Structure 1
């Protein structure tokens, strides 16, 4: 099993150390006041105070660390616990003290949270501490209870405390490991998707060079047809085809641009993005809020995200016999807030997660690339993307992205 990060381990040690100091203080008071045992109180209270002072310093210093503590630092902390435990057990009966088995708890914690070599070092230190308290320990003084009964009660309390400590640490460690596994799974999925995007971009650049020539030929043919035919309806259709071909040629030139160019791609206005989309989807009825910041300039990645969401909304509405799409755009605190709502059939709430995988489309004619690229754009720009059922019928997809305030209108 992969060892846990030292930082959560040290925080757990701090919590357990406060429990230990409280338990030691209660045990000293109970043994001296209730059982009337003649214990070396000065030495025992000195150990409790030293452990509490050390823990207070550690807890104050941990949040202020600029780097992750190393396993050696965690070993040093456990070494302090072993030293204090040796001191406390040695002055309260030595090996006859039923709480001497607490050395095993420290070994178990180290084995679960530290690398193997450091766990062996903790085990060696614990064995040395136990042997020291056994050899040099002070004999347990007489008490108001018989020695056998005192041993039984001490063993029972020790077992209860050990169970609580192991349960608390094990559950916290298990939760930390589950969180880490979930993060690793998300990173693996993101890596696989991004690897596919890189391969797709490489292939797209090569295909762009091949498409440039036939697109130029088609443009010339459309121009020739427009000169030969002057019917208004046909001429309008040819003009639309010419504009679509020109848009395709611009996209192809962008794909074919050398990757090593130093200048950033030119930004575009939100209004021009919507105009390009309406040219491709002339039958769709887009309803946009009147105060939308259409003059706001955004980078091409954000423009692509908006185009993908609008295309998906148009297709969803069309499958339900509707052509309406609602678009809300506004800027709030340097964040571009957007919401695209279709009037389709909606979706199953159990499948509400937005797909982030390449080539995994829910449409028979889809490539499964649009939303995956959108996810990559959102993650790269530090934004958010979410999906929820719309009021009435349909689906609402929202996004939030940071924008340059200098580009705001």
Structure 2
């Protein structure tokens, strides 16, 4: 439990303690007619209430050393408890074991040195209360002890259970966060390794791409068949597309350089690579919208995943909807596949894990990492009658030709 959270919890518990102390004094002095010093008792309760008002306000603006502040709070609780017990029986008061409860509360939330300091303060307060405490009247001591011990036990069980359950919940939450961070770290390491390898391959591809360009030109010039000439022209377009992608990869590695792309052109290039896919598009983008290349890569990865999923299910349709709302780009990519694989639970954090027979498990992990880096969000849900829809929301800038 964090220190600011502990301070707020301590203030809430202190209000419960103040209420219980006030009820106890009323019952003991008015209903049971026990001769107790009402002025000192009500004065101690009033001081604790005034302090808790200040502490509640102060807990909303915790200082740099919240653990030290929490110890000071515990010190006030020990002092007031010592005062109240000294005025109502001292060591014979059945609520004297409350000092132990204060130490349990401190041990569950504070560092060791402050726990030891709280224990020392409790020992001092218990000792002073034992020496200077006013004994209870003999007529009521036995009955008060029995009832007081029962109430003390119930209060102790309630407080310990409250803090224990909160501590267990906090530990489980921390374990989930650590597990998520561990998966993200492993994914990011894989992405860095993949990017390093891709950069090396990009330099090696220049020569074969240049050769393929010359061959496609020679085939187009030497043939009289219109069909072959058209195929050669398509091959030249695909080679040019590969060369542009290689150049983009090399350019993105340059320090301080961030280009911008047109999503409409990205979609046209994707349809050139996947001509058999029937892309059903909705929505219109602003004409001045230019985004950074990673958003284009994100869209292509999602379209490829959707196309593969639809193809495996016997369909060639992919649905795309792009729109801008205020300063956000919102996209929906839907396929007509079979949904999530039953034997492979969906995880956007994992890298190199795929439910597709020939999939590398890279696309969705890279998409999630891109959205995370750009400060957006990505969600996935199944749709009826079949298929999966991936929705992403990303902040964008309008009217800029390239990013600074």
Q: TM-score, normalised by structure 2?
A: 0.94
- Give the aligned partner of residue 370 of structure 2: 377
Inter-partner Cα distance in structure 1 for 2:71 and 2:377: 41
TM-aligned CA deviation for residue 253 of structure 1: 2.1
Instruction: Give 5+ residue unaligned stretches, structure 1.
Output: none
Inter-partner Cα distance in structure 1 for 2:367 and 2:173: 26
Q: Does the 8 Å CA contact 2:108/2:163 hold for their aligned counterparts?
A: no
TM-aligned CA deviation for residue 349 of structure 1: 8.0
Q: Which of 9, 13, 18 in structure 1 is aligned with 2:15?
A: 18
Over 3 Å counting, the alpha-carbon distance change for 1:291 and 1:254 in structure 2 is closer
- Give the aligned partner of residue 232 of structure 1: 226
Residues 98-151 of structure 1: CA deviation (Å, up to 9, x unaligned)? 1110111111111111122221111111111111111111122356xx421221
2:95 pairs with 1:102: no
Q: Does the 8 Å CA contact 1:354/1:387 hold for their aligned counterparts?
A: no
Inter-partner Cα distance in structure 2 for 1:350 and 1:70: 47
Residues 150-209 of structure 1: CA deviation (Å, up to 9, x unaligned)? 211110011011111111122122222222221121111111111221122122212211
Q: What secondary structure, in the 3-state scheme, does the structure 2 residue paired with 1:325 have?
A: strand
TM-aligned CA deviation for residue 293 of structure 1: 4.4
Q: Does the 8 Å CA contact 1:278/1:284 hold for their aligned counterparts?
A: yes
TM-aligned CA deviation for residue 405 of structure 1: 3.6
TM-aligned CA deviation for residue 258 of structure 1: 7.2
Q: What secondary structure, in the 3-state scheme, does the structure 2 residue paired with 1:29 have?
A: helix
TM-aligned CA deviation for residue 68 of structure 1: 5.5
- Give the aligned partner of residue 149 of structure 1: 143
Alignment of 1:172-321 (within 5 A): 172-257=166-251, 259-264=253-258, 266-293=259-286, 296-321=289-314
2:50 pairs with 1:57: no
- Give the aligned partner of residue 154 of structure 2: 160
Q: What secondary structure, in the 3-state scheme, does the structure 2 residue paired with 1:361 have?
A: coil
Q: What secondary structure, in the 3-state scheme, does the structure 1 residue paired with 2:96 have?
A: helix
- Give the aligned partner of residue 337 of structure 1: 330
TM-aligned CA deviation for residue 260 of structure 1: 4.8
Inter-partner Cα distance in structure 1 for 2:385 and 2:64: 50
2:123 pairs with 1:123: no
- Give the aligned partner of residue 77 of structure 1: 73
TM-aligned CA deviation for residue 78 of structure 1: 1.0
Q: Which of 25, 28, 37 in structure 2 is aligned with 1:28?
A: 25
Instruction: Give 5+ residue unaligned stretches, structure 2.
Output: none
TM-aligned CA deviation for residue 364 of structure 1: 2.3
RMSD value, Cα: 2.0
TM-aligned CA deviation for residue 284 of structure 1: 0.7
Over 3 Å counting, the alpha-carbon distance change for 1:79 and 1:406 in structure 2 is farther
Q: What secondary structure, in the 3-state scheme, does the structure 2 residue paired with 1:286 have?
A: strand
TM-aligned CA deviation for residue 294 of structure 1: 6.6
Post-superposition, which runs of at least 4 consecutive aligned residues in structure 1 deviate over 6 A? 349-352
Inter-partner Cα distance in structure 1 for 2:56 and 2:355: 52
Inter-partner Cα distance in structure 2 for 1:347 and 1:361: 10
Q: What secondary structure, in the 3-state scheme, does the structure 1 residue paired with 2:205 have?
A: helix
TM-aligned CA deviation for residue 342 of structure 1: 1.0
Over 3 Å counting, the alpha-carbon distance change for 1:61 and 1:338 in structure 2 is same
TM-aligned CA deviation for residue 406 of structure 1: 3.7
- Give the aligned partner of residue 85 of structure 2: 89
Residues 338-361 of structure 1: CA deviation (Å, up to 9, x unaligned)? 111112223368966343211112
Aligned length: 401
Over 3 Å counting, the alpha-carbon distance change for 1:388 and 1:178 in structure 2 is same
Inter-partner Cα distance in structure 1 for 2:74 and 2:148: 24
